[in-house]
Structure 1
């Protein structure tokens, strides 16, 4: 029996498709460790763990994240040591590097191949830091950002193979480590994320939206600046005044995934509504909160124009799934978006920092001649099929690499 151990604090996370597939292979046993698992997968044995951080832990502010990673890595090591005492030894370990889970497993199992998922390497310039608002950062910022990479560098030194999902994200890592990092996206299920039947959407105020209506959509896990929520809200006035028939549908939770909360607390939604709300026809702005995946797919099928904005940062699955659904996409001209979206071919690119340009881009998308719109939508979907499709591209790349380099058994053919 070939044993694969996954490590992701929110399992399955980026390993959803890979872990689910490996669990179906004959002769393969799949286990996973997680502190805050999102869901169970058939055929995967889940081992929960907890992280206990000493109450008197007071790290330097530069290494706060590294300190937390050490505590987490220590917890994972202790739990794996218990498994080892019971006779468990994996043949392959696959883990996300970002939170420290993979840091110390080579000390327990030095001969077990370790594959790390490397999502982001921090830079003081050229990525998210200093991007919004644009400007120089000080020496203290540069030192703090450099220190954020302590966990990443320890992980890069430990793994036998790294994986990153986009070229830009991979190439953020130091040149001396890039040959160690394979470019493999986790994959988009284009059978699920696809054009198809559109169910009417009943909004919180009772309004019923259907296919063919001028609906502009925006989706993010949290409504925050890293995903351009502030730009959307500042663009909304021009869009809605310019197109009195348009409704703006916004999906996402209050809170933050990546950046800080607003000064003074509260949510970015409340802050932006206080800033621009008087200038908006709020009866045509609809906040859905968090939506389930099937509702997201339906929303993309219903959308007349979909907006995706991001700092130069980790690329969202939502943009790729929206393209797979055949949306008319308007997206920021930021990396790694520009690695996927070609201006005028499979989407429209707009400058992130210009709300006026964002509104104009959305109106261009809405007013596009039908033939051009259909061509662009088809090209968007074909891009995802050709480059990110789960069964044609991503899973074969993952399993092929694991088979060639680490002996993962695959069925004949």
Structure 2
């Protein structure tokens, strides 16, 4: 059958599903806003397109988000008309609708069944909004209004989508009925064969002076990974735990992965990045000698990311009540001893004292205590890491668990189409 994927940054969450469908013999096409020189990727035909305009300067701030999504949706709609004119007609459309692109595709192909990737529904209480009192809203009384309009894209998709898929039960739970009942919970999947413990692993870091530092499993390494270093992923809480960790663990090396931009939430006021803002806050509490043990690695290629997890003695993962990061589950798959925030997204993966340790997100002293305690207890680290890997393999393994369920979800969409 003909299957169409829609993702602004294809393949994104569909990096396993789309090629798997192509291998089954389906005609798979993907539309994306990302420019690409590749016409075929793992059996998937790539159709890039562009938006014809930008957002309106001075538009009301409550509707700026929806205007941007409408612009993207129109661009995808126009490109879809051209694709239809070339003779392509999908049986199933699978879309990450979060940026709006798939909103008008039923206008092009009314008979196609649309399945959407339900990543997050914005709520005024109980999720990321208002969670951290350190960063209060600039308009707390208007937040509910703004979020209601930010959900327009979700609400309009509910009217045209036939089914949804969500990576975790908690993320699915943010969506309201009646659409919540149409959402199947299946994680994107972790390649647990590739992301696995490796006792022989080593990692070599280059110093600015031209010298290098080689780390192995015999070294004491604390890892912290974000796409970007920002409050929504607990960067500020981790940084505030560093002075105590460095003082108590004089042989520990701290490896911090993440960029300087903002993925979620707002930018800091002024010219400083979140990264530098909290470096400046804690640096006076850390000696020059200890600071040399803190390494900011920026964004690193995936082939270097896996050894980073494999070499980790203790891995720290913190987050607001928001989308659960792949990196947490990959750390579990690598057999890391994890210290994580006691926030709702973690509760599906981390059982306290079994698959990891949970700490109060806002308590950097407790975080430092838990990290240092694990560093001093190799038996407990080994037990947590073993349990974490077993849990990841049982619930998030790509080939055995997640991909078969994803394929079944797509097949169900196809059967829904055939029944009409």
Task: Return closer, same or farther for 1:296/1:8 CA change in 2, 3 Å cut-off.
Answer: same
Find 1:388's aligned residue among 365, 385, 396: 396
Paired with 2:84 and 2:69, the residues of 1 have a C-alpha distance of 22
1:52 shift after superposition: 2.2
Matching residue of 1:151: 153
Alignment partner, residue 125 of structure 2: 125
Q: Is the 8 A contact 1:204 1:286 kept in 2?
A: no
1:139-288 map, 5 Å = 139-196=141-198, 197-205=200-208, 206-280=212-286, 281-288=290-297
- Which residue in the other structure is 2:109 paired with? 109
User: Which residue does 2:59 correspond to in 1?
Assistant: 59
* Structure 2 Cα separation of the partners of residues 163 and 157 of structure 1: 16
Q: Displacement of 1:375 after TM fit?
A: 1.8
Counterparts of 1:104 and 1:365, CA distance in 2: 52
Is the 8 Å Cα contact of residues 200 and 211 (structure 1) preserved in structure 2? no
Cα distance in 1 for residues equivalent to 2:329 and 2:245: 24
Aligned 8 A contact 1:350 1:357 in 2: yes
Task: Please list the CA deviations of residues 354-411 of structure 1 after superposition, one character each: whole Å capped at 9, or x if unmatched.
Answer: 11111111112211242x3222111101111111111111111111122234149xxx
SS at match of 1:249: strand
**SS where residue 63 of structure 2 aligns?**
helix
SS at match of 2:412: helix
Residue 189 of structure 1 deviates from its aligned partner by 0.8
Distance 1:354 1:44 in 2: 47
- CA–CA separation in structure 2 for the residues paired with 1:356 and 1:139: 33
Q: CA deviation at 1:261?
A: 1.6
TM-score, normalised to structure 2, is 0.93
Structure 1 stretches of 4+ with a deviation exceeding 4 A read: 37-40, 54-58, 134-137
Cα 1:141/1:404, change in 2 over 3 Å: closer
- With normalisation by structure 1, the TM-score equals 0.94
Equivalent residues of 1:203, 1:286 under 8 A apart? no
* Distance in 2, Cα, partners of 1:73 & 1:387: 34
Could you say if the C-alpha distance between residues 257 and 135 of structure 1 is closer, same or farther in structure 2, counting changes exceeding 3 Å? closer
Distance of 1:57 and 1:112 partners within structure 2? 36
Q: 1:149 to 1:316 in 2, by over 3 A?
A: same
- Residue equivalent to 1:21: 20
Equivalent positions of 1:393-404 (< 5 A) are 393-404=401-412
Correspondence 1:65-76 to 2 at 5 A: 65-76=65-76
Q: Matched residues in 2 for 1:66 and 1:94: separation? A: 21
Aligned residue-pair number: 405
Matched, 1:336 2:345: yes
Show CA shifts across 1:192-220 (max 9, x none): 11112412322435222221211101011
Distance 1:171 1:134 in 2: 26
Q: Given that residues 36 and 48 in structure 2 are in contact (C-alpha distance below 8 angstroms), is that contact kept between their aligned partners in structure 1? A: no
Structure 1: where are the runs of 5+ without partners? 409-413
Partner deviation per Cα, 1:307-351 (whole Å, 9 max, x = no partner): 001010000000000100000101001121111100000101111
Describe the superposition over 1:213-271 as per-residue Cα deviations: whole angstroms up to 9, x where unpaired.
Answer: 11101011101111111111111001101111111110111111112121102211111
Shift of 1:122: 0.4
Contact in 2 for aligned 1:11/1:37 (Cα 8 Å): no
Alignment partner of 2:29 out of 20, 28, 31: 31
Of residues 363, 368, 380, the one that matches 2:372 is 363
Are 1:204 and 1:288, in contact at CA under 8 Å, matched by a contact in 2? no
SS of 1:250's partner is: strand
C-alpha RMSD of the superposition: 1.7
The C-alpha deviation readout for 1:164-205, integer Å capped at 9, x for no partner, is 111111010112211111111111111111112412322435
